[in-house]
Amino acid sequence: MLGCIEKPENRCVYFDNFFTGRDLLIHLRNLGFRATGTVRENRVDDCPLPSSNELKKTVRRKYDYQFDRNGEVLFVRWHDNRCVTIGTNFDNVEPLGAATRYSRQASKKTQVHQPAVLKSYNAYMGGVDHHDWLVGKYATVIRGKKWCWVLFTRILEMALINAWLFYRLIHGKNALDLQRAVTVTYLK
């Protein structure tokens, strides 16, 4: 997918945990790409980070970071609402940025410190995460014996959200109105 980019040193690539691993980050760095992505916990075996269970016992907003054994990839684990692990081949932890979080103890929103790599990831990883959020917002629940129904309904929901993204440019209606109109049309 990145073969069409002529100058990889001018690009930063951000992706989800489905793809991210140490080997991919090293491979992209060797090709000249700067890359960052969330990582599943079982894919950071060669990096001595505390486990998510250990980090959950600490105060929220605590983080730890380590380079892998060869010093090529930085892994950061941050305890927010849940533990998030990010791997990067170019970014840093500092300077710490500010993020707004709700504090139950203070009963108000407060500013917390957030590692710079997480701030960058949240700023630039928008399209796929936003699309998943929109699909999940009005998800169809069909319980069946066949596993393929889940995939089928997910594909339909994704197609509806893609159609709605174009539809709202013209009509400005929300996604639920479009889903209802499509459903009524098929029921007729």
Q: How many CA atoms lie within 13 A of 132 on its CB side?
A: 6
Is the peptide bond between 95 and the residue preceding it cis, with omega within 30 degrees of 0?
Answer: yes
Give the predicted TM-score (pTM) of the model: 0.73
Contact in structure between 77 and 83 (CB atoms under 8 Å): yes
Residues 54, 25: Cα–Cα separation, whole Å: 26
Answer positive or negative: Cα dihedral of 53, 79, 67, 120. positive
Beta bridge partners of 126: none
Strands 108-114 and 97-103: antiparallel
Residues 101, 49: Cα–Cα separation, whole Å: 24
Q: Which helix (H) or strand (E) holds 186?
A: helix 175-187
| Residue-level pLDDT, tens digit, the chain, 188 residues | 888 888 998 889 998 888 788 899 999 999 999 999 999 988 887 788 888 888 888 877 889 999 988 888 999 999 887 889 999 999 999 888 888 888 777 888 888 889 999 989 888 887 777 788 888 887 877 777 888 888 888 898 899 988 888 888 888 778 888 888 888 998 99
Strands 34-38 and 83-88: antiparallel
Looking at residue 159, what is its pLDDT? Answer: 92
Helix (H, G, I), strand (E, B) or coil at 103: strand
Contact in structure between 160 and 178 (CB atoms under 8 Å): yes
